Structure 1
Amino acid sequence: MTDIGHNSDVHGIARDHLRAFVERIERLDEEAKALNDDRKDVYGEAKSMGFDVKILKKVIALRRKDEQERMEEDMVLDTYLQALGMIVAPTDEKD
């Protein structure tokens, strides 16, 4: 029988490497949870000062996008809202 070593299982997986990956991922998960808790605290603080958290989240999402992407999305949104009769199409005003 071939000796595969103490660091591997019968399928050739290096246990120490696998364990290291799992532990790194677990640490990252813990860090992500801590960051999410911090973010939740900041939103709570903003809310306690009278800011609308739902709108604040929308502002943050918009800031992540570049101007061209926002403009394209706004044009499509306006088109959909006009088609549904939720807004009036702008009129062309010519002098």
Structure 2
Amino acid sequence: MSKREASTIGRNTVSGRQLQDFVERIERVREAKKQLNEDEKLIFAELKAAGFTPARVRDVIKRRAAKPADVEEAEAQLDMYLHALGMATETPLFRSVGQMSVDLAARDEVIAAFKLLVPTEGEIIVKVGAQAVRLYRDKNGEAQAEDVVERPKPASKAASQMPERPKRDVPDVDAAGAKDLGRVAYRENQPITSNPFPWDDKRRSEFDAGWREASGTDGMGPSE
């Protein structure tokens, strides 16, 4: 306490009554705040009983009290952080932009919004409709946007070649065994073209002979 306060504040003095008035006003405000807090608890209890989640309602109230620009920036940062941590394969903002069809005016608005997210060093590639757009910062730190021109990829040799036919498993049997396989093939309702032996393999003709013998035809169609 200063000397001035000690000399002017006393019981039943003007300063004393003024101080008491301040103290009582603060106490009344605190009592009112306490009552309001109790009222708020009752409201949250009612909304919880009605099926609402108090924590989410608090988020809504906090959001309503915030500036729109602050809310947008916070959501964009959260999306980027979740994506960076692998908790989201694609940010919701990127996904929604890629899926929607936008006109020229909306496209400019989307690009303007993404410019706020461009890092100091690096770039962002985003598809606005069907067009990819590169967002970056120039040497003066200003965010810039330009369309990405995708160069056609040269066709690979593998893609231009005909796919190889799968190799057949050639049975390890002699000529008599090949003929038996032909008979079995017919009995199992397999066509004569199911012959597993290569064209230059002598066992191929034995397979065909066995198939024809079992079928009683030449393999070209039903017997007359």
TM-score norm. by structure 2 comes to 0.36
Kindly provide the amino acid, as one letter, of the partner of residue 20 in structure 2: R
1:49-88 correspondence to structure 2 within 5 Å: 49-88=50-89
Say what the alpha-carbon RMSD is for the aligned residues: 2.0
When residues 45 and 10 of structure 1 are mapped into structure 2, their CA distance, relative to the original with a 3 A threshold, is same
Q: Which runs of structure 1 show a deviation greater than 3 angstroms over 4 or more consecutive aligned residues?
A: 89-94
Once the two structures are TM-superposed, the CA of residue 80 in structure 1 deviates from its matched residue by 1.8
1:12 counterpart (8, 11, 19):
8
Larger radius of gyration, structure 1 or 2? Answer: 2
Deviations 1:14-70 (A, max 9, x none): 221211111100000000011111111111000001111111111111111121110
Q: Which residue of 2 aligns with 1:41?
A: 42
State the partner residue of 2:140: none
Q: Number of matched residues?
A: 88
Distance in 1 (CA, whole Å) between partners of 2:36 and 2:20 is 24
Matched residues, percent identical?
35
TM (normalized to structure 1)?
Answer: 0.79
Gaps of 5+ in 1: 1-7
Gaps of 5+ in 2: 10-14, 96-125, 131-224
Residue 11 of structure 1 and its aligned partner are, at CA, apart by: 4.4
Which structure: greater helix fraction? Answer: 1
Distance 1:58 1:15 in 2: 45
Q: Which residue of 1 aligns with 2:156?
A: none
Higher relative contact order (CA 8 A, sep 6+): 2
Q: Relative to total residues, which structure has the larger strand share, 1 or 2?
A: 2
Q: 1:11 to 1:76 in 2, by over 3 A?
A: farther
Q: Which amino acid aligns with 2:8?
A: G
Question: In the alignment, residue 48 of structure 2 is paired with which amino acid?
Answer: K
Q: CA deviation at 1:83?
A: 2.0
